[in-house]
Structure 1
Amino acid sequence: MARRLPSQPPVLPGFSHVHILGSGGFADVFLYEQNMPRRQVAVKVLLSEVVNDHVRQMFQAEANLMAQLSSHPSILTVYQASVSSDGRPYLVMEMCSSALSERYRREPLPVAEVLRIAVKIGSAVETAHRAGVLHRDIKPSNILLTAYGHPVLSDFGIAATLVTADAEEAVGMSIPWSAPEVLLGENSGSVAAEVWSFAATVYSLLAGRSPFEVPGKSNKSADLIARIGRGRPQPIDRADVPHSLETALARAMSRNPEHRPRTILELVHELQAIESELGLAQTPIEVAMDDWALGTVSDLEDRTRVRALNSDASTSTGRPRRRRRRRAATAPESVVLENAQPSRSGSITQPASRSATALTWTLVVTAVLVLALAATAVYVLLRNNSSIPVVTDIEARERAGDVVFTWPDPGLREGDSYQIETSDGARSMQTNPAFVVAGDVGEEVCITVTVNRSGTTGSPSNQKCATVGQ
């Protein structure tokens, strides 16, 4: 198929064009040098033939989304977005390499490297989902590498907002990594579909091909769609890929969305457990835990939202309800002034005995209220935490380069997880009762394990420490 020539690079104030980096169905990416601060950046410019008022509006919304999410260490950083003098919207982004998408086709990637990349990218997708954002185009070519080799996810939903009349061509760009329900038009995207695409991407990095490609046979779009609809991915022909990993990916690519993990985070926990199974240090999960870090941008992003955010404290008009505050009970004015005597300055004062009595009663009532509130708080905390099991009897096995911590299951229920905090402040969530901490020989490493149930953490375990052996 003939490839189009790249468009003319726009003139951007404060930037100097260097050369073309790549071309896609809706945009070209150019290398520019920013004058101040001086650095090389990637500039993604939409093609003039796809630009209209609707596209400009959606492009602005997607740029806002990427800027909001790009504070995540595994999401591509967006520096700025604007419209060039010739009317084409553009994004100025961190300069990254696409070498990974070429390398996995050329040579087998180590399983440990793929698991590390998967946990980091999975953390990015989970963070986006918690912010109400679907990526819509998870695939190997959208995983880039920073100058320091850190994987980052790019193109959050931008391609999905730029579908023109030739929708078949737009979807065809990502057929190998699209969930069957999306290809069949049953929905335009969901968390379950993202789980499928994420698993298909991890599979591809391991196998060197997409899950439904058959070497030596026809792999046209129609062939791939038919195989994806049947839901039987090809086996990964590698002896070093554990059966547990292949099984986890196959389950995440189930034809029935209900048979897949409910969230990306669940699948990431399985990948961490496989890291421990292979004797690898678990890659930390990087998911924003604070509500302020997961705010939304505007109603323009509805096409990429998982669900609307509801608030019980709002009225139907969207305005927060005001609670009428009861005024503190005070004595009637006539009582306050009863028996009052004028002072030497002419002002009215109360008798000392009455004032002291009122103050005493006020202090007593205040003390009773404080004690009641404290007792209520203690009761609620004890009631919420008493049912959450506590991890005990953590054991440590020292070995060269790391320490393996294990503990007996204290009685986890479905949906529970362990929250692990290491002595350097790093945190991780998992369901496997084992954790590996890497370190230098002779270094003391410590962990604390807490059970998390429905977003509530119980009492932490005693800290367990060990020294990294030789």
Structure 2
Amino acid sequence: MARRRPSEPPILPGFSHIRLLGSGGFADVFLYEQNMPRRQVAVKVMLADVVTENVRQMFQVEANLMAQLSSHPSILTVYQASISADGRPYLVMELCSAQLAERYRRERLPVAEVLRIAVQIGSAIETAHRQGVLHRDIKPSNILTTAYGHPVLSDFGIAATLSAAPTHDTVGMSIPWSAPEVLLDRTPGTVQSEVWSLAATTYSLLAGRSPFEVTDGPNTSDELIGRITRARVPAIGRDDVPEALEAVLRRAMSKDPAKRQQSAIELVRELQRVELELGLVPTQADVAVDDWALATVSDPGDRTIVRAVTPAAAAARPGRRRRRALAAETAVAAEGTGSATAGAGRRVAARSRATAAVLVVVSLLVVGLGAIGTVLALQGDDGIPRVTGIQAARDGSTIVFAWDDPGLLDGDTFRVQVAGGEQTLQRSTEFAVAAVPGDRVCVTVTVVREGRAGAPSSERCAEAGE
């Protein structure tokens, strides 16, 4: 197959060209060295012969989307965007490796590694969805790896807002990882079609091939579309892949979108459950709190930012027992994307939290928003509903507390306080705690509305079993 020659690298003030990194249908990616601060970066440059006003607008959309989202530790960081002297738009991005897309084809990736990647990328997709953005091109080649081995989602070039209604002829797609309803032109993309694509990508990393690709037959576009829209999901074909994981992926790739997990975070939780069943420490899912600066003190001019508490910091408290609240997502206080140091720091911090000696075990039952530090000056308000009738169930050393929804409004959260431990903000009416066998765990639950807390529930206690 003939391939086009790469374009000439543009002259960019403050950057020195080094070499070509790769070529695509609409752009080339070059390695440059930025002069100040001195660092190597990847620069994506649009091809001159495809630059139309529509393409310029798409490129600007990509730049804006990635800039808004790249504070997430699993989304590629964009440093700047501009137009070169010869009129070609370009993006300056964090330098990452694209080896994963080749590696899964030539070697068997460990199940634990694939689950870790899927959870981290899934949390990035969930974050994009909460910002109203569909990626619409989730596939292995769009998962890059940082210098620290952290997976990041790239290429929002054909992304669209959830509220937009783009025409189908403006939508690109990668057939092997596109949902049936997208291939059949029933929709340009939905949250459920992204769930399908994330599952198909996870399947590919495990199987060494896309889900409906065959090794002993034709894999033309028409053949693939026919299998994706009509055939059952084939077995992965690995003895070390548990049936529970195959079942999760089969559900996510159901032909009927209504039968799939209805959000990326729901799929992430099921993958975390598989990690637990395999005896692995569940991978942290990073999803920002909706109102991460909700706490205030009595002086309106003195505001306190709510931050995540790392497991290591919590373990340092004297007299603490080894129990940790299970949380599906840890609150992240984003601090901007202005420098490479900040971008790397976010990822190092995320990995440090996931690998600290005492780890936050991620809940598979709750829509948690993380272990939150002390929330200051949340005053009671009789107009806020009160949680009653908390029930507790034991599953070995795990205790699951559950209660009825007293009538949350949009924006309300439950604040779960573990006695002698952390507070957690969440929307779910279930909360799981991993405790040392024989340990007694007590919780109270309070509804928080617009920075104010209602009356707390009665304390509910339970003892962890063996």
TM-score (norm 1): 0.67
CA–CA distance in structure 2, aligned partners of residues 29 and 446 of structure 1: 56
Deviations 1:125-164 (A, max 9, x none): 0000000000010000000100000010001244789xxx
In structure 1, the residue matched to 2:388 is 386
Report the Cα distance in structure 2 between the residues aligned to 1:251 and 1:454, rounded to whole angstroms.
35
Report the CA distance shift for 1:274/1:429 in structure 2 as closer, same or farther (over 3 A).
farther
Distance, in Å, in 2 between the alignment partners of 1:221 and 1:236 is 21
Match of 2:58 in 1: 58
Q: What SS does the aligned partner of 1:271 have? A: helix
2:43 maps to: 43
Q: Are the structure 2 counterparts of residues 190 and 11 from structure 1 closer, same or farther at C-alpha, using a change threshold of 3 Å?
A: same
Task: Specify which of 397, 404, 407 is matched with residue 399 of structure 2.
Answer: 407
Q: Which amino acid aligns with 2:388?
A: S
Deviation at 1:433?
7.8
Query: 1:75 matched to which residue of 2?
Result: 75
SS in structure 2 at match of 1:197: helix
Rg larger in structure: 1
The alignment covers a number of residue pairs equal to 361
Report the 3-state secondary structure (helix = DSSP H, G, I; strand = E; otherwise coil) of the residue aligned with 1:218. Answer: coil
Which residue identity is paired with 1:8?
E
Identity %, equivalent residues: 60
* 1:56-455 aligned within 5 A: 56-158=56-158, 171=172, 174-291=174-291, 378-381=381-384, 383-386=385-388, 389=390, 391=392, 396=397, 406-408=398-400, 410=402
> Is the Cα–Cα contact under 8 Å of residues 133 and 159 in structure 2 kept in the other structure?
no
Measured on the aligned residues, the alpha-carbon RMSD in Å equals 4.0
Equivalent AA in structure 2 for residue 211 of structure 1: P
Q: C-alpha deviations, 1:96-123, integer Å up to 9, x for none?
A: 0011111111111111111111111100
CA distance in 2 between partners of 1:155 and 1:463 (Å): 48
Higher deviation after alignment, 151-160 or 7-16: 151-160
Q: Is the 8 A contact 1:30 1:42 kept in 2?
A: yes
Structure 2 distance, partners of 1:419, 1:108, is 42
> Who is 1:315 aligned against?
none
Cα distance change, pair 224–431 in 1 and its aligned pair in 2 (3 A)? farther
CA displacement 1:423-443 (0-9 Å, x = unmatched):
7999999999867799xxxxx
Distance between the aligned counterparts of 1:447 and 1:96, measured in 2? 44
Query: Given the superposition, is the C-alpha separation of residues 54 and 278 from structure 1 closer, same or farther in structure 2, using an over 3 Å criterion?
Result: same
Deviates more, 1:232-241 or 1:72-81: 232-241
SS at match of 1:386: coil
Provide the C-alpha distance between the structure 2 equivalents of 1:149 and 1:378, rounded to a whole number of angstroms.
47
Change (3 A) 1:107 1:23: same
More helix as a share of residues: 1
CA distance in 1 between partners of 2:131 and 2:292 (Å): 10
Residue by residue over 1:50-70, the C-alpha shift from the partner in whole angstroms, topping out at 9 and shown as x without a partner, is: 111222122112211100100
1:7 corresponds in structure 2 to 7
Q: Retained in 2: the 8 A contact 1:138–1:197?
A: yes
* Aligned partners of 2:403 and 2:429 also within 8 Å: no
Please give the secondary structure, in 2, of the residue aligned with 1:268: helix
Go from structure 1 to structure 2 and tell me whether the alpha carbon gap of 1:461 and 1:15 turns closer, same or farther (over 3 Å shift).
farther
Task: From the superposition, tell whether residues 64 and 465 of structure 1 become closer, same or farther in structure 2 (CA, over 3 Å).
Answer: farther
Deviations 1:22-59 (A, max 9, x none): 01111110000000000000000111111112221221
Distance change (3 Å), C-alpha of 1:160 and 1:210: farther
Which segments of 5 or more consecutive residues in structure 1 lack a partner in the other structure?
294-375, 397-405, 439-444
2:40 maps to amino acid: Q
CA distance in structure 2 between the partners assigned to 1:452 and 1:264 by the alignment: 27
CA distance in structure 1 between the partners assigned to 2:106 and 2:426 by the alignment:
33
CA distance, structure 1, for counterparts of residue 16 and residue 270 of structure 2? 46
Retained in 1: the 8 A contact 2:442–2:461?
yes
- Contiguous gaps of at least 5 residues in structure 2: 162-166, 294-378, 406-412
How far is the alpha carbon of 1:171 from its aligned partner? 3.9
User: In structure 2, how many angstroms separate the alpha carbons of the residues matched to 1:93 and 1:204?
Assistant: 26
Q: 1:22 to 1:395 in 2, by over 3 A?
A: same
CA distance 1:33–1:259, change in 2 (3 Å): same
Distance 1:273 1:257, change over 3 A: same
Contact preservation (8 Å) 2:123, 2:285: yes
Contact 2:414 2:425 in 1 (8 A): no
- TM-score of the superposed pair, with normalisation by structure 2: 0.68
Structure 1 residue 214: deviation in Å?
1.3
CA distance in 2 between counterparts of 1:130 and 1:419 reads 23
Cα distance in 1, alignment partners of residues 160 and 463 from structure 2: 48
Amino acid at match of 1:154: S
1:188/1:276 Cα in 2 relative to 1: closer, same or farther (>3 Å)? same
Q: What's the secondary structure of 2:112's corresponding residue?
A: helix
Q: How much does 1:390 deviate? A: 5.2
Amino acid at match of 1:104: Y
